Amino acid sequence: MTSRSSTEPHRASTPLELFFDLTFVVAVAQAGSRLVHSLAEGHPGHGIAGYLLVFFAIWWAWVNFTWFASAYDCDDPLYRVATLVQITGVLVLAAGVPRAFENSDYTVAIVGYLIMRLALTFQWLRAAHDETDPAARRTALRYAAGLVLVQIGWVVLLLLPDAAWNWGFPPLAIAEMAVPAIAERRHPTTWHPHHIAERYGLFTIIMLGESVSAATVAIQTALDDQAALDELLPIAAGGLLIVFAAYWIYFAAPIHEYLESGQQAFLWGYGHYVIFGSAAAIGAGLEVAVEQAVGEAHISDLAAAASVTIPAGLFLVATWALHARHHKRGAAQQVLLPAAAVLVLACTFLGEAAVPAAGAVAALTVAAGVALSARQGEGAGDVDPHGERVSEAD
């Protein structure tokens, strides 16, 4: 297992990577359903705090594997077995989400993380053993040591009283994110920019898929409850427009050209915690809006609307700040997404019309973006399905 080239042509996600991503659907769905329950019952503080904590664990587990695979995926039997062990850890983590969310019992989740970390540490040690470059070997060993030290910290925190999580989680989360920065300070791994961009794009689609599922629930509920048909169909339509717009905006331009340095890549990669988390939370918000429409939620119309508009607005701002602004030309293009986020948040105060209004704003934002791009000669046809620029002749 030696490092792959960062300029390797035609580098694409493997079936094993896609299988790995699929297992996270279970964990994200568990976190989303608990968020829905907390918001619908009028406990936003508990729900949002629990969601942010649990989603961090889900997101960081995915990040660890993705960047390692971009640099060292050799796809031999030993690598596959180690990855399948990590998948088992993800499933254990998913099983522990309800306990972590409802009872602050993180035992099962930590066990799942321990399984994943043992396999990933083995992968880094294997990479260090097989590396021919001494600098790359030291980087791999620093990764392995960092993973072990931080995991010991989580186990120790698990053994302490429950109150210890209030002060123990933030420094350990910071330590987690510091491991790659420290390990790659002198010699970065050979992650592949195009591959990383594709991997993040695919995971964004999985997060948006949670919202598509929520819109489907709205339609199904409307068909089953004819009395609420007039309220539920606009929610479903507005939710779909938001999700479709989110997809369009995220994939409007390729990003791999921007990922030229480790510092840029770290900021972009870490910032996707907000993009992924808000994309999945849109779906949870739509389910809350549906429950409010059929009288099953115990919150105000304003709170139900905010469950959708806040994550939607956050997605727009985060996507602009981390992803889209690097390709914008001129003040009109730069201000479009932040202005759209403000308008989406303003829709919160429209009561029952909030979700369809936010969907309309999202759709108009896409239309305005296409029009501005066309005026400057950046038509939608300039980007192929793989994110590469193509000419008019192509």
Q: Residues 52, 179: one domain?
A: yes
- Does the pLDDT value for residue 314 go beyond 50? yes
> Mean pLDDT across the stretch 119-146?
92
Longest C-alpha distance within the chain, in Å? 70
Q: Residues 198, 346: one domain?
A: yes
Q: Residues 86, 213: one domain?
A: no
Domain membership of residue 6 (yes or no) is no
For the entire predicted model, the pTM comes to 0.88
State residue 393's pLDDT score.
34
Closest CA to 236 of 220, 215, 266, 255: 215
Q: Residues 212, 64: one domain?
A: no
Confidence category of residue 226, pLDDT binned at 50, 70, 90: low
**Beta bridge partner(s), residue 389:** 383
Arithmetic mean of pLDDT over the chain: 86
Q: Residues 113, 209: one domain?
A: no
Domain membership of residue 8 (yes or no) is no
Q: Residues 287, 320: one domain?
A: yes
State residue 380's pLDDT score.
43
Confidence category of residue 250, pLDDT binned at 50, 70, 90: very high
Confidence category of residue 24, pLDDT binned at 50, 70, 90: confident
- Does the pLDDT value for residue 386 go beyond 70? no
Q: Residues 233, 107: one domain?
A: no
State residue 256's pLDDT score.
72
Domain membership of residue 392 (yes or no) is no
Q: Residues 201, 106: one domain?
A: no
What is the number of structural domains in the chain?
Answer: 2
Q: What is the pLDDT of residues 39-75, one digit of tens each?
A: 988 888 888 988 998 899 999 999 999 999 999 988 8
- Does the pLDDT value for residue 305 go beyond 90? yes
Q: Residues 62, 113: one domain?
A: yes
Integer Cα distance of 27 and 93 in angstroms: 7
Q: What is the pLDDT of residues 178-193, one digit of tens each?
A: 999 899 888 889 888 8
- Does the pLDDT value for residue 324 go beyond 70? yes
Q: Residues 150, 215: one domain?
A: no
Residues 188 and 139: beta-carbon distance below 8 Å: yes
| Torsions phi, psi for 389 (to 5 deg) | -70, 135
> Mean pLDDT across the stretch 227-247?
86
Residues 387 and 198: beta-carbon distance below 8 Å: yes
In the numeric block, the tokens 């609420």 are attached to: 228
Cβ atoms within 10 Å of 107's Cβ, excluding its own: 11
Boundary-marking domain end, from 134, 150, 183: 183
Q: What is the pLDDT of residues 50-60, one digit of tens each?
A: 899 889 999 99
- Does the pLDDT value for residue 391 go beyond 50? no
Domain membership of residue 10 (yes or no) is no
Q: Which domain holds residue 222?
A: 193-382
> Mean pLDDT across the stretch 316-321?
93
DSSP secondary structure of 267-333: HHHHHHHHHHHHHHHHHHHHHHHHHHHTT---S-HHHHHHHHHHHHHHHHHHHIIIIIGGG--HHHH
- 6 burial (CB, 10 Å; 0-12 / 13-18 / 19+) is middle
Domain membership of residue 179 (yes or no) is yes
> Mean pLDDT across the stretch 336-354?
93
- CATH code (residue 200): 1.20.1410
CA distances (Å), origin 212, targets 246, 277, 278, 309: 11, 15, 14, 16
Q: Residues 172, 227: one domain?
A: no
> Mean pLDDT across the stretch 195-221?
84
Confidence category of residue 115, pLDDT binned at 50, 70, 90: very high
Domain membership of residue 105 (yes or no) is yes
- Does the pLDDT value for residue 390 go beyond 50? no
Boundary-marking domain end, from 117, 148, 183: 183
Residues 120 and 90: beta-carbon distance below 8 Å: no
Residue 87 CB partners (closer than 8 Å, separation 6+): 19, 20, 23
Half-sphere exposure of 280 (CA within 13 A, CB side): 30
State residue 261's pLDDT score.
64
State residue 379's pLDDT score.
44
**Beta bridge partner(s), residue 383:** 389
Confidence category of residue 377, pLDDT binned at 50, 70, 90: low
Domain membership of residue 5 (yes or no) is no
Hey, CA dihedral for 390, 71, 180, 107, is it positive or negative? positive
State residue 225's pLDDT score.
66
Q: Residues 144, 69: one domain?
A: yes
Boundary-marking domain end, from 183, 207, 241: 183
Domain membership of residue 394 (yes or no) is no
